[in-house]
């Protein structure tokens, strides 16, 4: 396996010492995740563990987390979001490390009043700091059918895809002072929760609890990652996602989505004065 010069020496040592910790998941909610909050509002619906639902009512939402932590990986799931009036509701699929200086990679779907589109909110946190948002309106109704959402996180980049179409790339630019999540293992999480104080038009639209309970569905959860165990992690030499990048066709498709469907972005400038545009470069977040 070829590692770029941007890969840390510490991670290279992990690769050499911990081959026994490589796992590839074929995906079962029974085997791979734990419904860790919601008091019964999260449910697995089939024997094979392919379909899971999360529900929200006025008392509580719900969520699940992966049983394993990962340092790099490719994680995908199919989701069908809450239909109708979903104002104030947030449905998520994301990676996150513990602690007060955590790393995080987010897919968050912000509900809206009936007839208006969902907002897909993406963000990357490093050492507890975000300020790297991009938001999109999707080119389909995510409440009618299942669609596939994927996070690819490797030492050089993070790629967000929807139904196989790249919508965002966040590159590792640590060499020029831009923080990138390279050292903290993360778990996968998903949740359905209420955030009416900010989620829909900055909190102008409130949750209509007469429509509760609200339910979102997850299926075909699948992770190919470097499992973190006993302070060590490693990756299989034949994992294509570990060196994945966007070719010219992928870049063109991503820019097409951003030009048509990206509705906002927030950028934090580190040690350079950069004028940001909608082009995805080192400092577009």
Catalytic residue among 104, 194, 196, 205, which? 104
Please list, in sequence order, all residues whose beta carbon lies within 8 angstroms of the beta carbon of residue 129, skipping any fewer than 6 positions away. 179, 268
Sign of the torsion formed by the C-alpha atoms of 197, 203, 206 and 207: negative
* Nearest Cα to Cα of residue 78 among 200, 282, 216: 216
69 is catalytic: no
Task: Evaluate whether 104 touches 261 at the Cβ level (below 8 Å).
Answer: no
Max CA-CA distance within the chain? 56
Gyration radius of the chain's alpha carbons? 19
Closest CA relative to residue 283, chosen from 155, 138, 186, 175: 175
Contact of 234 with 228, CB cutoff 8 Å: no
Active-site residue, selected from the candidate residues 69, 108, 169, 205: 108
Q: Catalytic residues, which ones?
A: 104, 108
């Amino acid at each position: 396996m070829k590692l770029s010069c941007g890969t840390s020496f510490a991670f290279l040592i992990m690769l050499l010492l911990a081959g026994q910790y490589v796992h590839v998941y074929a995906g079962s909610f029974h085997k791979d995740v734990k419904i860790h909050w919601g008091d019964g509002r999260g449910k697995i619906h089939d024997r094979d563990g392919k379909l899971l639902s999360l529900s929200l009512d006025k008392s509580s939402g719900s969520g699940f987390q992966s049983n394993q932590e990962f340092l790099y990986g490719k994680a995908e799931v199919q989701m069908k979001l809450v239909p109708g009036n979903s104002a104030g509701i947030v449905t998520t699929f994301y990676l996150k490390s513990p602690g007060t200086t955590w790393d995080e990679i987010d897919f968050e779907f912000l509900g809206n009043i009936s007839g208006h589109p969902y907002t897909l909110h993406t963000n990357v946190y490093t050492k507890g700091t975000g300020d790297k948002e991009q938001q999109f309106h999707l080119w389909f109704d995510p409440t009618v059918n299942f669609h596939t959402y994927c996070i690819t996180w490797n030492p050089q980049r993070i790629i967000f895809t929807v139904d196989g179409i790249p919508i965002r790339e966040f590159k590792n630019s640590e060499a020029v002072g831009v923080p990138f999540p390279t050292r903290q293992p993360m778990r996968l999480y998903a949740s359905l929760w209420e955030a009416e104080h900010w989620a829909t038009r900055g909190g102008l639209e409130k949750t209509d609890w007469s429509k509760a309970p609200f339910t979102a569905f997850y299926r075909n959860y699948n992770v190919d990652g470097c499992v973190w165990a006993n302070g060590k992690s490693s990756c299989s030499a034949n994992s294509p996602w570990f060196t994945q990048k966007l070719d010219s066709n992928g870049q063109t498709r991503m820019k097409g989505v951003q030009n048509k469907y990206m509705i906002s972005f927030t950028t934090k400038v580190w040690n350079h004065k950069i004028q940001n545009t909608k082009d995805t470069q080192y400092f577009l977040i």
